[in-house]
């Protein structure tokens, strides 16, 4: 017998299943020469196909060793195993094991591409092999259109084109008629003159005619091992080729085209999910600053009221009551001492009530709030949101501004006069008087204000109202004091008359409002309040509740995108699993096969994230307009330009691109990688 090229010692293979364990191979030992046709026969289930899979490295034995050229294959390094699969061995399957949607020439050239063979030389070798097997006119024909005999010859051509040392054949004639079976056996017999051929077969007639050695198996063991004829030794080592992954491009292009509908649906679904992710991020990033900015859009923003809480005892009762009183001026000044630029003023709304009846032309109205501002010239604050009209240059009593909500019910209001005639009862000490007041305000401008919880407003000058009250003398009080006493003098002297429970506070530095809001939120004995803060606080609470919903949306969209991509490519894997197993049998690496899916997944993922970025501005604009109409926030959805990661500022687009790549790799490679743990033989047999 010739020198052994392949040897196995005490091979044992145990399959574990739900119905119990099955011993397929039991202490099988044999050696095989470098040439000749060795036929392995026996009844179904005797272990002959299992032996072929263990010798060809498609499966690992439960115990025992396989040696190739004297080396234990279990100790093969990655390149040694690749060389064995890509160059030293080839496998011919009973059902051909061809890539049905590829041409005959492409099928035959795949092993050459894997070994880095040049395209021109590889094509010449493949065409020579096709000519040798009488397939010269079939090179461009798609494999699925061939007959059974032609397919088996293509499988032989693919196996022989790389000149393997060992050829494994699993029932090569099992799917053929007698004529084609004989033709294939003639070819296999001819091939065995220069290499080892190990063939599993049930056809005793063909085995007895062509086999140089016959191994009969029974219950996983050798029943009979007989040599029919001696064969010459013919073994010559080859130089290791440079391995190439160029073969994968053939499949990658085909996958993209053949699975266009699935890729398109994945792309479309991923785009929707990605837009949802971007919208969630944009709102959570932009809403806080936008809400803070928009809530400042009011002439009331720089004004507040300060009052004091006083606990009132109820005698012997354990209960106590709290009432709001006007603090002393010194107390208010001390409480607000952390502010550098403020004015603490008397509340004069008694003399110009918030809701007073007024005349506009010939009509009477009571639909607006009259509110004081400290700077009617808008030099300190407010000129930026003057929508219509003009900013006046100096303080005057007879001008006012209205907000856009008021202007919406009173069109063409600029230049018109708002007039009030009021009779205010005034009581100081024991003296009772009535003060007749007349105000005439010319509307100079319309302010575009934050609309949430807003009402129609008319803004007038607080300093000018104070000056007006200084000019109005009280007859009875002046007579009692023997000097002229004005309305404001009474208030200034602490004689009462305005019935206010708080002081009016005006901030002259907008940057200090954050500190004021902190005091409003904190509360305590002294209470600082403002309508702007109430609107901001209410909408902020509503916004935080909405953010919780958006976190849920973000999670659903992210999980959805991952699930859609993973399920899409996992289903694609199950669709191609047999084809993938064939690639492995030809020597493909895990990374190359996973790379086919990963590249496809990356391409689809990058495309749907790119589309999401293209669509996002239009969707965000619509949402911003909707929020602007309903809540007055016009730019709540804003994507961050940069994010800080480990102290480094990274552009948001880069983060999204990296996230898309990671998502694509994980969602495609991870489930497929887990599936690849299944045995190669099982995948090949799985339909």
Task: Tell me the DSSP string of 117-144.
Answer: --HHHHHHHHHHHHHHTT-TT-TTSBGG
Give the residue from 217, 243, 269 where a domain finishes: 243
Q: What per-residue confidence (pLDDT) applies to 240?
A: 47
Dist CA 76 CA 507 (whole Å): 81
Q: How many CA atoms lie within 13 A of 402 on its CB side?
A: 23
- What percentage of the chain exceeds 90 in pLDDT? 28
Asked if pLDDT for residue 623 goes beyond 60, the answer is yes
- Arithmetic mean of pLDDT, 581-591: 77
Ranking 258-267, 652-661, 673-682 by mean pLDDT, the lowest is: 673-682
Asked if pLDDT for residue 215 goes beyond 80, the answer is yes
- State the burial class of residue 269 (Cβ atoms within 10 Å of its Cβ: 0-12, 13-18, 19+): middle
Q: What per-residue confidence (pLDDT) applies to 232?
A: 66
Q: What per-residue confidence (pLDDT) applies to 675?
A: 58
Q: What per-residue confidence (pLDDT) applies to 359?
A: 95
- Arithmetic mean of pLDDT, 202-227: 89
Establish if 647 belongs to a structural domain.
yes
Residues 6+ apart with CB under 8 A from 524: none
Q: How does the average pLDDT of the chain come out, rounded?
A: 85
Asked if pLDDT for residue 98 goes beyond 70, the answer is yes
pTM across the whole model:
0.69
Highest mean predicted confidence (pLDDT) among 118-122, 201-205, 337-341, 649-653: 337-341
- Arithmetic mean of pLDDT, 118-147: 88
- What percentage of the chain exceeds 70 in pLDDT? 93
Q: Do 374 and 415 lie in a common domain? A: yes
Spatial contact of 162 and 180, defined as CB atoms under 8 Å apart: no
Q: What per-residue confidence (pLDDT) applies to 539?
A: 87
In the numeric block, the tokens 């609107």 are attached to 535
Q: Do 571 and 510 lie in a common domain? A: no
Asked if pLDDT for residue 292 goes beyond 90, the answer is no
User: Which helix H or strand E contains 109, and what residues bound it?
Assistant: helix 104-114
Establish if 120 belongs to a structural domain.
yes
Q: Do 288 and 392 lie in a common domain? A: no
Cβ atoms within 10 A of the Cβ of 545, count?
9
Asked if pLDDT for residue 238 goes beyond 70, the answer is no
Establish if 252 belongs to a structural domain.
no
Asked if pLDDT for residue 208 goes beyond 80, the answer is yes
- Tens of pLDDT, residue by residue over 68-82, are 998 999 998 888 888
Establish if 271 belongs to a structural domain.
yes
Higher-pLDDT residue of 525, 574:
525
Asked if pLDDT for residue 18 goes beyond 90, the answer is no
Dist CA 687 CA 677 (whole Å): 17
Dist CA 668 CA 660 (whole Å): 12
Establish if 668 belongs to a structural domain.
yes
Q: Do 624 and 500 lie in a common domain? A: no
- Arithmetic mean of pLDDT, 643-668: 82
Q: Do 427 and 483 lie in a common domain? A: yes
Establish if 251 belongs to a structural domain.
no
pLDDT band at 687 (very low <50, low <70, confident <90, very high): very low
Q: Do 477 and 331 lie in a common domain? A: yes
pLDDT band at 475 (very low <50, low <70, confident <90, very high): confident
Taking CA 366 as the corner, what is the angle to CA 360 and CA 369, rounded to the nearest 5 degrees? 100
Higher-pLDDT residue of 418, 22:
418
* CATH number of the CATH domain containing 151: 3.40.50.300
Q: Do 332 and 235 lie in a common domain? A: no
Give the residue from 508, 532, 556 where a domain finishes: 532
Dist CA 249 CA 279 (whole Å): 37
Q: What per-residue confidence (pLDDT) applies to 242?
A: 61
Instruction: Write out the residue range of the structural domain in which residue 32 sits.
Output: 4-243
Total domains in the fold of the chain: 3
- Tens of pLDDT, residue by residue over 314-365, are 666 666 678 888 899 999 999 999 998 999 999 999 999 999 999 999 999 9
Q: What per-residue confidence (pLDDT) applies to 2?
A: 47
Asked if pLDDT for residue 590 goes beyond 80, the answer is no
Asked if pLDDT for residue 59 goes beyond 50, the answer is yes
pLDDT band at 681 (very low <50, low <70, confident <90, very high): low
- Arithmetic mean of pLDDT, 432-448: 92
Q: Do 277 and 417 lie in a common domain? A: no
Q: Do 65 and 190 lie in a common domain? A: yes
Establish if 59 belongs to a structural domain.
yes
Higher-pLDDT residue of 12, 320:
12
Give the residue from 510, 532, 554 where a domain finishes: 532
Ranking 117-131, 142-156, 244-258, 361-375 by mean pLDDT, the lowest is: 244-258
- State the burial class of residue 319 (Cβ atoms within 10 Å of its Cβ: 0-12, 13-18, 19+): exposed
pLDDT band at 680 (very low <50, low <70, confident <90, very high): low
Q: Do 610 and 650 lie in a common domain? A: yes
Q: Do 427 and 575 lie in a common domain? A: no
């Amino acid at each position: 017998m010739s020198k052994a090229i392949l040897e196995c010692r005490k091979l044992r293979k145990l399959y574990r299943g739900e119905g119990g364990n099955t011993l397929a191979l039991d202490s099988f030992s044999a050696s095989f020469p470098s040439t000749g046709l060795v036929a392995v026969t026996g009844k179904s289930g005797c272990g002959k196909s299992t032996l072929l899979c263990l010798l060809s490295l498609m499966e690992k034995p439960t115990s025992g060793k396989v040696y190739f050229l004297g080396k234990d294959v279990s100790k093969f390094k990655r390149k040694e195993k690749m060389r064995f699969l890509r160059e030293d061995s080839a496998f011919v399957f009973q059902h051909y094991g061809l890539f049905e949607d590829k041409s005959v020439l492409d099928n035959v050239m795949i092993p050459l591409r894997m070994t880095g063979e040049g395209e021109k030389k590889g094509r010449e070798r493949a065409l020579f092999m096709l000519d040798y097997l009488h397939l010269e006119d079939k090179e461009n024909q798609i494999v699925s259109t061939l007959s059974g005999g032609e397919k088996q010859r293509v499988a032989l051509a693919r196996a022989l084109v790389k000149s393997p040392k060992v050829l494994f054949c699993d029932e090569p004639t099992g799917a053929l008629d007698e004529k084609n079976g004989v033709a294939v056996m003639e070819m296999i017999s001819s091939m065995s003159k220069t290499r080892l051929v190990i063939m599993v077969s049930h056809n005793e007639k063909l085995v007895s005619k062509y086999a140089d050695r016959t191994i009969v198996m029974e219950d996983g063991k050798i029943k009979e091992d007989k040599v029919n004829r001696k064969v010459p030794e013919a073994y010559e080592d080859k130089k290791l080729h440079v391995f190439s992954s160029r073969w994968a491009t053939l499949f990658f292009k085909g996958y993209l085209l053949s699975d266009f509908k699935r890729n398109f649906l994945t792309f479309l679904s991923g785009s929707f999910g990605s837009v949802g992710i971007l919208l969630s991020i944009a709102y959570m990033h932009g809403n806080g600053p936008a809400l803070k900015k928009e809530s400042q859009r009011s002439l009331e923003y720089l004004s507040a009221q300060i009052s004091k809480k006083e606990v009132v005892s109820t005698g012997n009762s354990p209960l106590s009551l709290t009432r709001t009183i006007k603090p002393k001026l010194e107390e208010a000044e001390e409480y607000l001492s952390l502010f550098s630029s403020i004015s603490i003023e008397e509340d004069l709304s008694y003399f110009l009530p918030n809701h007073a009846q007024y005349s506009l032309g010939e009509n009477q109205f009571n639909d607006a709030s009259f509110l004081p501002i400290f700077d009617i010239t808008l030099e300190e604050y407010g000129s930026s949101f003057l929508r219509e009209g003009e900013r006046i240059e100096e303080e005057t009593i007879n001008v006012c501004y209205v907000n856009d909500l008021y202007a919406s019910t009173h069109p063409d209001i600029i230049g018109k006069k708002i007039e009030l005639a009021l009779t205010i009862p005034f009581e100081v000490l024991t003296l009772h008087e009535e003060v007749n007041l007349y105000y005439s305000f010319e509307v100079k401008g319309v302010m575009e204000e934050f609309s949430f919880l807003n009402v129609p407003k008319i803004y007038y000058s607080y300093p000018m109202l104070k000056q007006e009250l200084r000019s109005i003398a009280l007859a009875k009080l002046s007579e009692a004091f023997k000097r002229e006493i004005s309305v404001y003098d009474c208030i200034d002297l602490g004689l009462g008359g305005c019935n206010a429970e708080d002081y009016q506070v005006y901030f002259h530095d907008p940057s200090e409002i954050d500190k004021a809001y902190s005091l409003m939120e904190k509360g305590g004995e002294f209470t600082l309040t403002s309508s702007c803060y109430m609107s901001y606080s209410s909408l902020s609470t509503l916004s935080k509740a909405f953010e919780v919903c958006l976190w849920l949306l973000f999670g659903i969209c992210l999980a959805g995108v991952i699930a859609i991509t993973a399920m899409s490519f996992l289903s694609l894997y199950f669709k191609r699993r047999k084809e993938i197993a064939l690639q492995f049998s030809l020597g493909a690496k895990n990374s190359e096969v996973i790379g086919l899916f990963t590249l496809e997944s990356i391409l689809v993922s990058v495309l749907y994230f790119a589309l999401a970025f293209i669509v996002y501005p239009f969707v965000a604009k619509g949402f911003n307009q909707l929020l602007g109409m309903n809540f007055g926030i016009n730019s709540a959805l804003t994507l961050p330009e940069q994010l800080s990661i480990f102290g480094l500022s990274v552009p948001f687009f880069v983060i999204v691109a990296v996230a898309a790549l990671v998502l694509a790799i994980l969602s495609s490679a991870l489930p497929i990688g887990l599936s690849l743990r299944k045995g190669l033989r099982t995948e090949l047999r799985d339909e």
